[in-house]
């Protein structure tokens, strides 16, 4: 019997397709369907329209913890241990992803196991138990992340968190998804029950379903989810942030072996619009994520060997150190332009900051060249083919299309725009959305005071190398080392690392 | 010789058993393996995909091959140098070709192998074969860019060194091994990384000895026609001369007593305990090894009794896990846990020991073992959904065995493991003599 089962599933995988051919995305008000004939798996993505922006004041981190209390905890029918036991032989799981504006409960199972998997997945959403012991365990993990991991284990992630917190301070975007230490400590089961009741409603949900499912499953899903209350919570306005005036620098003081730098400013352009795709071409040339084609990478890493990589973004890109391609379901109505300089030697921090800003300024002032433009749009047209090879990823993009009201598919539009957009469009987008005068900079480093002094005085920052460099590099270094940043003293603040994420 | 395996459709005749036995392949795609006269092994896996191809060049050399003193981390550095181009396609030209075809290209290194991988549209297959075969045969770089790239490698080290596990791994490997090259991490010792700019001549020799066709397996998966693909491979790779020189890796003498150590993390972290046991090299015919692969999950996986006790019920640890790696030589079988209170470190350690003793003395319940076997099968099958996942998932097998036929052997053996086999593996590997224990503690409170 077992042998027959194995043969059957092997043949099914043999027939499995990952092709988009014959696949049709159906999008309705509250569901996105992506049937894939012959896919032997089923992918679920349930999007609840809630995120960290909905955290009540003093309860920062509540959206994230509530979602985890659904997926990493007991339900009314099963203890957390029982759930782990039941999921184990299926090699399946379900998880929650909480970002600023979205919470997605997602999971995937083999068709063979759908009858075992489905009730567990649905129970997690419909009948969470909200037990104190589960909350204690989850809070302990979040606190360990805030108190230790984020402050010490990855200075580049720390720099990015500080950048976003500074830019959006005082707004609904003004804290990271994990929240703050004091707020997380204060979260109670009642907070979670209230949050769940308010936001986990039928009218606040978009069902994403993909893969080799049968029609009857969709109907069952709809029937079962009718158990959620019908009310839709009031949506909140996108954040009104305080304009940045000049170059503002937030220095995190710690005993760092190298200096991590992130910088950026808000931009008012979203995917789905022609301007966004035009800006995407310029951004790809300047700093394609984890790609040696990035110009910043060429200048700072390739020619000068200062770090592991240098990139730029026009959309939020969490976990950049671990991902090669963009994540899904981290949509935001308010995006920032962001430059990420991976840790550089402490003694060259000023030089590297200057080098990055100088290259950005050159692009903003001069625009792209015809050659660079043509190479980059050709690159992107094919590169986006790699963005979503699996049903689960395509389902993620389909939900994102709904978030951004993209007419059709972002990935298809992306490819189409690479044929339509002109160099003039790109350079116009650069001038419209990018500027070099007003920017927030976040730096994680040691001897913060001396860096502050160097910045404020625009002290020259000559660089020396342990090994020879070409004359052209050394000549350019002279210009970089005195490139004026004009940072005002009042625009620099220094925060000891232990003071971050406290409240 | 062209060898075709029809996956589930073909019965393998196990002639050596003296009778005809029928076995099914767990690997669901038919694949074609061919070895060129120069020793280059090519595995082609046609599968449906939206016009995409994954192209993996697996070099069977990793940090394990860094036998000379002072050269730790060099295989990793060399992986960086492989992007510096040739006289025909200098680095910037190579980059612009990769960029113009919109390929998703990168590389990574492990202890046992180095892998260069690229995903691209099928119409660019010949272009990719052209540039990849060229750089593997004709890599060329001057001393200046070589020295500059050493700076990028140091930058990578600095980026990683803030992670507690980077320090922990460095310590436990150094402590557990006396002579074998698993003594150092893939990243290498900092002093050796610092000295890399001086190793230009050595880098040329490294290329000559290890980047040879008889040390490389190509895995090409996706929307390909195997007949025309192998013709292209022959056209571009046949001129490459064999000449792999195996490194003289010293075998690690048997460990005779427990080793313990501590490491200080300069930041703030909860303590981590890492317990390593000298295991065995990958061998699908070694029943104890195969049983150990299952034992790690049974005893310390997320539905194990100990996980439930320490993570869910007592909540004394942030996480508990194990790693039973598949290696060319004998690796460490590791069990690790992040402990919430320093005072509990010894308690957690003893709970781990107690669990291992239980597995030595009591056969695991049959249904638990079956659950795990089922899980492994589905996990394997669900991971085979894109050309990149297929090729990527097979890379280690290709590196440690020279091909992917071993997958069937491995899953066949896993299926046969019984509760007494688990007892035998527990008794063999998880002894005090084979053990190295390292505790990492943060300096800041």
Q: Look up the CATH number of the domain holding residue A73.
A: 3.30.830.10
Distances (CA, A) of A232 to A173, A221, A235, B242, B338: 21, 19, 9, 68, 41
Nearest to A17 among B28, B48, B444 (CB): B48
Chain B residues touching A293 at Cβ < 8 A? 95, 98-99
Contact B37, B233 (CB under 8 A): no
Q: How far is CA A242 from CA A168, A229, A268, in A?
A: 8, 37, 14
Mark whether A270 and A314 lie in a shared domain: yes
Tallying the residues shown for chain A, one arrives at 503
Tokens standing for B76?
A: 């990793």
Distance of CA B223 to the CA centre of its chain: 26
| pLDDT (0 to 100) of residue A25 | 59
DSSP class of residue A26 equals E
Helix axes A189-199, A62-71, angle to 10 degrees: 90
- Best A22, A74, A83, A84 residue to mutate vs chain B (most B CBs within 10 Å): A84
For residue A307, what are its two tokens?
């770090």
Burial label, B361 (beta-carbon count in 10 A; 0-12, 13-18, 19+):
exposed
Q: What is the rounded average pLDDT for all residues in chain B? A: 92
Structure confidence at residue A44 (pLDDT): 98
Q: What is the pLDDT of residue B28?
A: 85
Residue of chain A whose alpha carbon sits nearest to that of B381:
A13
> Does B8 sit within 8 Å of A137, measured CB to CB?
no
Give the SS3 label for residue A439.
strand
Q: What angle do CA A284, A285, A287 make, to 5 degrees?
A: 65
pLDDT at position B342, please?
Answer: 96
Sign of CA dihedral A307, A336, A405, A227: positive
Q: Tell me the shortest Cα–Cα distance from B374 to chain A, in angstroms.
A: 5
Residue A26 lies in a domain: yes
Name which of A9, A84, A466 is nearest B303 (Cβ-Cβ).
A84
Percent with pLDDT over 70 in chain B = 94
**How close does chain A come to B251, measured CA to CA in Å?**
34
Residue A260, in any domain of the structure:
yes
Does some domain include residue A241?
no
Are the Cβ atoms of A19 and B48 closer than 8 angstroms?
Answer: yes
Does residue A236 fall inside a structural domain? Answer: no
Residue B344 tokens read as: 């509990």
Q: Which of A108, A110, A467 sits opposite B147 (nearest CB)?
A: A467
Task: Give yes or no: residues A18 and A142 share one domain.
Answer: yes
A336 and A418 together in one domain: yes
Of A11, A89, A290, the CB nearest to B371: A89
The whole-angstrom separation of Cα B99 and Cα A294 is 10
Residues A145 and A254 grouped into a single domain: no
Residues A46 and A90 placed together within one structural domain of the fold: yes
- Residue B24: what pLDDT? 64
Q: What is the DSSP letter of B302?
A: T
Interface test with A, best of B49, B53, B80, B148 (most A CBs within 10 A): B148
Is residue A258 included in any domain, yes or no?
yes
Show the domain range for A6: 2-225
Q: Which residue from A208, A222, A31 is spatially nearest to A105, judged by alpha carbons?
A: A208
Check whether B293 has a pLDDT greater than 90: yes
Could you list the beta-strand ranges (E) of A111-268. 205-211, 247-253, 259-267
Q: Is A29 helix (H, G, I), strand (E, B) or coil?
A: coil
- In B124-189, where does DSSP find H-type helix? 125-138, 143-160, 164-176
Q: Are residues A50 and A161 in the same domain?
A: yes
- For residue A406, tell me if it sits in a domain: yes
Residue A233 within any structural domain of the chain? no
Out of A171, A190, A225, pick the residue that ends a domain: A225
The total domain count for chain A is: 2
Minimum-distance CB partner of A324 among B98, B106, B159: B106
| Distance (Å) of CA A489 to CA A246, A250, A496 | 11, 12, 18
Contact (CB<8Å) B385/A41: yes
Q: Which of A40, A152, A253, A469 to mutate to probe the B interface, most B CBs <10 Å?
A: A152
The Cα–Cα gap between A101 and A53 comes to 6
Do residue B49 and residue A136 have CB atoms under 8 angstroms apart?
A: no
- Closest residue in chain A to residue B166, using alpha carbons only: A153
Give the integer Cα–Cα distance in Å for A441 and B50.
41
Asked if B50 and A389 come within 8 Å (Cβ–Cβ), the reply is yes
How many interface pairs between A and B have CB atoms less than 8 angstroms apart? 229
Q: What pLDDT shows up at residue B272?
A: 98
A17 in a structural domain: yes
Q: d(Cα A74, Cα A67) in Å, to the nearest integer?
A: 12
Which residues, at least 6 apart from B12, have a Cβ–Cβ distance to it below 8 Å? B22, B23, B25, B408
Say if residue A377 is in the same domain as residue A310: yes
Are the beta carbons of A253 and A497 closer than 8 angstroms? yes
Could you tell me if A256 and A384 lie in one domain? yes
CA separation for the pair B51, A316 (Å, rounded): 29
Kindly give, in sequence order, each residue whose CB lies less than 8 Å from that of residue B341, ignoring residues fewer than 6 positions away: B316
Residue A284 shares a structural domain with residue A411: yes
Whether A177 and A290 map to the same domain: the answer is: no
Tens digits of residue pLDDT in B122-160: 999 999 999 999 999 999 999 998 998 988 898 889 888
CB atoms near residue A454 (< 10 Å)? 17
Least confident of A13-17, A81-85, B255-259, B345-349: A13-17
- What pLDDT does B151 receive? 85
Tens-digit pLDDT string for chain A (503 aa): 333 333 333 333 333 333 333 345 566 678 999 999 889 999 999 999 999 999 999 999 999 999 999 999 999 999 999 999 999 999 999 999 999 999 999 999 999 999 999 999 999 999 999 999 999 999 999 999 999 999 999 999 999 999 999 999 999 999 999 999 999 999 999 999 999 999 999 999 999 999 999 999 999 999 999 999 998 899 899 999 889 999 999 999 999 999 999 999 999 999 999 999 999 999 999 999 999 889 999 999 999 999 999 999 999 999 999 999 999 999 999 999 999 999 999 999 999 999 999 999 999 999 999 999 999 999 999 999 999 999 999 999 999 999 999 989 999 999 999 999 999 999 999 999 999 999 999 999 999 999 999 999 999 999 999 888 999 999 999 999 999 999 999 999 999 999 999 99
Answer yes or no: do A81 and A126 share one domain.
yes
Residue finishing a domain among A195, A225, A255:
A225
Domains of chain B (ranges; CATH) run 36-237 (3.30.830.10), 259-442 (3.30.830.10)
Which residues of chain A are within 8 Å of residue B342 when distances are taken between CB atoms? none
d(C-alpha B78, C-alpha B409), whole Å: 33
Option in B106, B312, B385 nearest A18 (CB):
B385
Q: Are A485 and A458 within 8 A, CB to CB? A: yes
Residues A261 and A394 both lie in one domain: yes
Q: What is the value of ipTM here, to two decimals?
A: 0.89
């Amino acid at each position: 019997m077992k042998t027959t089962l194995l043969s059957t599933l092997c043949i099914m995988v043999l027939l499995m397709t990952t092709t988009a051919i014959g696949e049709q995305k159906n999008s309705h008000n509250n569901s996105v369907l992506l049937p894939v004939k012959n896919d032997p798996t089923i992918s679920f993505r349930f999007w609840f329209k809630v995120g960290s922006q909905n955290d009540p004041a003093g309860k920062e981190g509540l959206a994230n913890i509530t979602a985890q209390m659904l997926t990493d905890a007991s339900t009314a029918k099963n203890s957390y241990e029982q759930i782990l036991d039941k999921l184990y032989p299926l090699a399946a799981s379900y998880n929650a992803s909480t970002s600023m504006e979205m919470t997605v409960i997602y999971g995937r199972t083999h068709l063979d196991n759908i009858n075992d998997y489905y009730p567990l997945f649905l129970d997690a959403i419909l009948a969470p138990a909200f037990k104190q012991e589960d909350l204690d365990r989850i809070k302990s993990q979040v606190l360990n992340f805030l108190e230790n991991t984020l402050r010490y284990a990855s200075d580049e992630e720390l720099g990015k968190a500080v950048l976003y917190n500074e830019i959006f301070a005082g707004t609904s975007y003004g804290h990271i998804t994990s929240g703050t230490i004091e707020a997380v400590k204060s979260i109670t089961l009642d907070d979670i029950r209230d949050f769940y009741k308010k936001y986990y409603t039928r009218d606040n949900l978009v069902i994403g379903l993909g893969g080799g499912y049968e029609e009857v499953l969709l109907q069952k899903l709809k029937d079962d989810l009718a158990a959620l209350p019908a009310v839709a919570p009031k949506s909140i306005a996108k954040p009104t942030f305080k304009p940045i005036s000049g170059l503002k620098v937030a220095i995190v003081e710690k005993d760092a072996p190298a200096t991590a730098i992130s910088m950026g400013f808000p931009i008012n352009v979203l995917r789905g619009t022609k301007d966004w795709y035009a800006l995407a071409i310029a951004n790809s040339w300047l700093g394609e994520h984890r790609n040696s084609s990035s110009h910043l990478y060429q200048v700072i890493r390739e020619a000068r060997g200062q770090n592991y990589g240098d990139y730029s973004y026009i959309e939020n890109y969490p976990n950049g150190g671990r991902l090669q391609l963009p994540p899904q379901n981290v949509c935001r109505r308010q995006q920032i332009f962001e430059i990420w300089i991976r840790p550089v030697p402490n003694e060259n921090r000023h030089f590297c900051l200057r080098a990055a800003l100088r290259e950005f300024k050159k692009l903003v002032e001069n625009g792209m060249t015809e050659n660079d433009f043509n190479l980059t749009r050709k690159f992107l047209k094919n590169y986006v083919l790699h963005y979503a090879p699996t049903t689960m990823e395509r389902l993620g993009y389909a939900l994102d299309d709904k978030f951004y009201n993209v007419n059709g598919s972002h990935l298809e539009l992306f490819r189409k725009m690479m044929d339509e957009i002109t160099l003039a469009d790109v350079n116009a987008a650069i001038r419209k959305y990018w500027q070099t005068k007003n920017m927030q900079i976040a730096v994680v480093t040691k001897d913060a005071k001396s860096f502050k002094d160097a910045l404020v005085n625009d002290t020259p920052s000559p660089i020396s190398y342990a090994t020879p460099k070409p004359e052209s590099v050394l000549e350019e270094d002279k210009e970089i080392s005195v490139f004026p940043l004009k940072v005002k003293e009042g625009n620099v603040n220094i925060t000891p690392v232990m003071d971050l994420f406290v409240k | 010789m062209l060898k075709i395996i029809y996956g589930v459709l073909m019965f393998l005749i196990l002639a050596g058993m003296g009778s005809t036995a029928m076995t099914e392949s767990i690997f669901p795609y038919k694949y074609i393996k061919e070895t060129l006269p120069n020793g280059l092994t090519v595995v082609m896996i046609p599968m449906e995909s939206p016009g995409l191809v994954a192209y993996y060049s697996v070099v069977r050399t990793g940090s394990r091959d860094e036998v000379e003193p002072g050269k730790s981390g060099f295989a990793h550095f060399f992986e960086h140098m492989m992007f510096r181009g040739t006289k025909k396609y200098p680095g910037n030209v190579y980059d612009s070709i990769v960029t113009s075809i919109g390929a998703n290209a990168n590389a990574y290194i492990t202890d046992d192998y180095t892998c260069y991988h690229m995903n691209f549209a099928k119409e660019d297959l010949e272009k990719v074969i052209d540039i990849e075969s060229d750089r593997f045969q004709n890599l060329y770089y001057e001393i200046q860019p070589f020295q500059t790239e050493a700076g990028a490698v140091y930058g990578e080290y600095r980026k990683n060194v803030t992670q507690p596990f980077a320090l922990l791994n460095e310590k436990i490997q150094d402590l557990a091994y006396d002579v074998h090259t698993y003594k150092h991490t893939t990243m290498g010792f900092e002093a050796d990384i610092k000295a890399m700019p001086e190793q230009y001549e050595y880098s040329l020799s490294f290329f000559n000895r290890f980047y040879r066709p008889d040390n490389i397996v190509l895995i090409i998966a996706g929307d390909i026609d195997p007949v025309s693909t192998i013709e292209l491979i022959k056209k571009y790779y046949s001129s490459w001369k064999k000449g792999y020189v195996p490194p003289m890796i010293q075998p690690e003498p048997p460990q005779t007593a427990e080793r313990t150590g501590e490491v200080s993390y300069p930041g703030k972290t909860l303590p981590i305990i890492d317990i390593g046991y000298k295991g065995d090299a990958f061998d699908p015919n070694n029943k104890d090894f195969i049983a150990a692969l299952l034992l790690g999950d049974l005893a310390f996986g997320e539905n194990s009794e100990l996980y439930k006790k320490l993570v869910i019920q007592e909540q004394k640890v942030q996480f508990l896990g194990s790693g039973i790696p598949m290696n060319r030589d004998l690796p460490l079988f590791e069990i690790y846990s992040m402990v919430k209170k320093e005072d509990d470190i010894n308690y957690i350690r003893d709970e781990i020991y107690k669990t291992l003793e239980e597995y030595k003395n009591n056969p695991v319940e049959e249904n638990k073992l079956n659950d795990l076997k089922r899980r492994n099968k589905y996990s394997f099958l669900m991971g085979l959904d894109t050309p990149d996942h297929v090729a990527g998932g097979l890379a280690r097998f290709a590196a440690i065995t020279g091909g992917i036929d071993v997958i069937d052997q491995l899953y066949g053996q896993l299926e046969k493991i019984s509760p007494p086999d688990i007892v035998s593996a527990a008794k063999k590997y998880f002894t005090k003599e084979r053990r190295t224990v390292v505790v990492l503690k943060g300096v800041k409170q």
